[in-house]
Amino acid sequence: MDDAFVQALQAAKNPEEKATLVAEASLDTLPRRVAFVARQCVLFHWFDQSITEGLLQAFAPNGDHRQDAYGQIISLPFIEHLLWGVTYQDLTRQGLLKHLVHTQPELLKSAAQIAAPLYKASPQIKRGEAEALFCSIVSGDTLASSLQIDTLLEQAMSLQDWQSMEGLFRLQEEAEQLSFVEPIPRTEHYWMLRSVINRVQNKPDEALVDYNHALTINPKNALAYLNRGIIHLRLHHYELAEADYNQALRFDPVLAQVYVNNGVRFLQQKPDKNKDLISTQQLPVTIGNASKSLTKKIKEFVVALWNLLVEWAGDWLEAWTKVHLPTLSNLVKEAYILLDQQTVAVRRSAKKAWRELRKYLLKQTISILQIQPGIWVYRIATWIIDQPETNKVTQVKQECSINWGDLPVDIRMQIIRYGEIGEIDVVKTRDTEFEMLVSSV
């Protein structure tokens, strides 16, 4: 150990600098090609022999002794052994990485470019794919990085693997903190996925920021308004929640969950005025069941919750118009009388038509499955009696693929929340809805 090295150690300001000096001194004792690859491996969170061999092949295509080189690297005192490979000790890696970012950024960038496909082919599938993503970002392959992170996030979300999703976001942030790395463009879909993690981890403020970013990119994202409104509601920001729900309905008038949450907001905001309504109408159950039918037309909402709307009109709207718009009070009453006549007729006709259809429609199910990243498929199976005189039953199957962005908003919302949509028994659901209408007409 020469005097200059000792003086450098004594002048080091912190343990990280000392660890870097010791590591550099050790690497300088290795053959040039081995030292070069060992420094490249500083970038990775873990590596194995296949990675070092790939790096050595790129450095010296005609060279040999690649296995011996791996042995020399893993024998270094600051290398730790894992079940799936090896890694630099944290302190040593942090120090060396900072040093190389400033002195040899191209060395790190080339290492990432070479290693990305090697990690993707690794038998350590989950870890390999994550490290491949990290390398793609560092190498500057923006397109591949964007596709990879979207695919991996969707896969993790479909399994409700929140820990993996959080890990992927951390890897991205770590890669982009390197001064020579260009950040991946943040898409609307990216921010919506990120908000899922913050909501799962009960970080409402961070989730609000995510939705703000998503809405900056696409101001017409009804789902973002809905979910931001849900967070405002939980934080008791009632006016902000109402504003977001109104915006959601502006861009998607048939988004069922908005009606449900807006009703909850109304009751939470004015609990004393609505406590009788809650107890007599069993609002959570009524809204929860009725919201299933709100997927196509607003009038289904009016029909299914007409009794509740009449209660609201009597308890709130009529009282408000009497005070603030007395000249319109009678008109409001007449409007509700006319609407009531039309609504009751519609409900009776709908029930009659459904009963007739049920004579021939035995069962219908819908499944929504992901067949590849960003591509989903509807599978509809229907059992009908096509020959009434013999009661012959025929099964009809239909299938169509659809892009993620073309899925209905309420379906996308369920997938983001729960990861998947199982088989839905359409006939059973409709039977339940029409049973609800029987007692109210």
pLDDT tens, residue by residue, 331-373: 656 665 665 666 666 667 777 777 777 777 788 787 777 666 5
Banded pLDDT at 41 (limits 50, 70, 90): very high
What was the pLDDT predicted at 278? 41
Banded pLDDT at 433 (limits 50, 70, 90): low
What was the pLDDT predicted at 270? 59
Cβ burial, residue 424 (10 Å; 0-12/13-18/19+)? middle
Tell me: pLDDT of 258 over 90.
Answer: no
Banded pLDDT at 172 (limits 50, 70, 90): very high
Stretch 103-119: mean pLDDT: 95
Query: Which of 132, 165, 182 is the last residue before a domain boundary?
Result: 182
% of the chain surpassing 70 pLDDT: 67
What was the pLDDT predicted at 304? 45
Stretch 270-276: mean pLDDT: 50
Give the range of the structural domain holding residue 91, as residue numbers without chain letter: 3-182
Tell me: pLDDT of 79 over 60.
Answer: yes
Number of domains within the chain: 2
Q: How far is 267 from 409, CA to CA, in rounded Å?
A: 25
**Of 78, 86, 87, 104, the residue nearest 16 (C-alpha):** 78
- Residue 65 within any structural domain of the chain: yes
Stretch 399-415: mean pLDDT: 63
- Residue 54 within any structural domain of the chain: yes
3-state secondary structure of 50: helix
Query: Does the pTM exceed 0.75?
Result: no
- Residue 386 within any structural domain of the chain: yes
- Residue 111 within any structural domain of the chain: yes
For residue 395, what is the enclosing H or E element?
strand 392-403
Is residue 224 within 8 Å of 209, Cβ to Cβ?
A: no
Q: How far is 244 from 298, CA to CA, in rounded Å?
A: 18
- Residue 168 within any structural domain of the chain: yes
For residue 197, give the amino acid letter. I
DSSP 404: G
Banded pLDDT at 267 (limits 50, 70, 90): low
- Residue 283 within any structural domain of the chain: no
Beta-bridged to residue 403, according to DSSP, are 375
Query: Which of 149, 182, 215 is the last residue before a domain boundary?
Result: 182
**Sign of torsion, CA 252 256 261 266?**
positive
Banded pLDDT at 178 (limits 50, 70, 90): very high
Tell me: pLDDT of 150 over 50.
Answer: yes
- Residue 206 within any structural domain of the chain: no
Banded pLDDT at 181 (limits 50, 70, 90): very high
DSSP 280: H
- Residue 90 within any structural domain of the chain: yes
Query: Which of 114, 148, 182 is the last residue before a domain boundary?
Result: 182
Tell me: pLDDT of 117 over 90.
Answer: yes
